[in-house]
Amino acid sequence: MRAHTFETILVPVDFSEISAHALRTASLLAERCGRAKIIAMYANWFEAPPYFTVGRLAELQAEFSESLQLAEHSLEAFVRSTLGDTADSVEVRAMEALPADGIRQLAALENANLIVMGTHGRSGLNRWMLGSVAERVLRESPVPVLTVRSAPRELFRHVLCPVHDTELSRRALGFAAGIAACFDADLTVLHVHEASGARPVADLCSWVPAEERSRCVIRELVRHRDAAEEIVKLAREGPYDLVVLGAERRRFFEGMVLGTTTLRTVRHAPCPVLTVGSGPGLWDQSKE
């Protein structure tokens, strides 16, 4: 797969308006970046109380299976109302699984190379916190994840890719350059560094494929606050249509954690954020 083509895009749906935004964004990428197959999925889990009788459990399980069939019909209607004429090319799946587990299973089964999902803002003290499902997918997925919280623009015209001098940043920049090529968009490569810290990355645009280099713009910023603040500030000032970010993952006990720069950028950026993870996620490791 070339960096700027997608073959299978998985879109988790919970029937909210945010899910509709994610579907429209996936459709836009599929149309412009390789005519990818889109799979819209819904997952729910049935767990009966332990004191139910065997007969009652069987009855409830049958009812739940029937409800999944109804959910699949509702999902078809949701996709049709969201995408109109282009809905016929979208596959729909309703699964009995916890949402994050269902996303993992279907992404692996279908060899998805992109997940597009909505994130819900929270009010009060939890404002802009990610939903638990989205955050778990971001932490564990070996597949790049595009998080969306608002209606997509008709085209991506300006793409922002913050980088460090690492292989992960080079991988993320490959995705950013490829998507910019799909949409004939400008690509801004941003290196944020401390005044007393590392030197600027030499010749950042040499990381970009030669055929896409003419659209590459380099911006070097001295960090006066922290990286996430600078990234979000620039994304708001741009305005940018997409941020592509390499996300370092670190093991913590039995799970994975993301760096604060990644989480804060995803939570606060005014546009969709494509998160490209480092190395295999927990989903890959679970197969070993």
Please state which of the ranges 22-31, 77-86, 101-110, 199-208 shows the lowest mean pLDDT: 199-208
CB-hemisphere CA count at 13 Å for 266?
A: 28
Mean pLDDT of 246-256: 60
Dist CA 64 CA 70 (whole Å): 10
Establish whether domains 1-152 and 155-288 are of one fold.
Answer: yes
CB-hemisphere CA count at 13 Å for 178?
A: 16
Residue 282 has a pLDDT of 39
On average, the pLDDT of the chain sits at 79
With pLDDT > 70 as the criterion, what percentage of the chain qualifies?
A: 70
pLDDT at 247 over 90: no
Mean pLDDT of 173-187: 88
Using alpha carbons, list the distances in angstroms from residue 249 to 16, 259, 282.
Answer: 29, 7, 10
Please state which of the ranges 13-22, 96-105, 174-183, 279-288 shows the lowest mean pLDDT: 279-288
Mean pLDDT of 131-147: 86
Q: Over the stretch 4-54, which tens digit does the pLDDT of each residue have?
A: 578 999 999 999 999 999 999 999 999 988 788 999 999 987 666 676 777
Which pTM was predicted? 0.83
Amino acid making up residue 16: S
- Topology annotation, domain 1-152: Rossmann fold (3.40.50)
Domain borders along the chain are 1-152, 155-288
pLDDT at 288 over 60: no
Structure tokens at 63: 């009812």
Residue among 4, 18, 58 at smallest CA distance from 177? 4
Structure tokens at 139: 């932490």
Is 155-288 in CATH node 3.60.21.70?
A: no
3-state helix, strand, coil in the chain (%, to 5): 45, 25, 30
Dist CA 50 CA 46 (whole Å): 12
Question: Cα 148 to the chain's mean position, in Å?
Answer: 7
Comparing 3 with 204, the larger pLDDT belongs to 204
Residue among 33, 42, 35, 36 at smallest CA distance from 13? 42
Where in 67-195 does DSSP place strands (E)?
A: 90-96, 114-118, 145-148, 158-163, 186-194
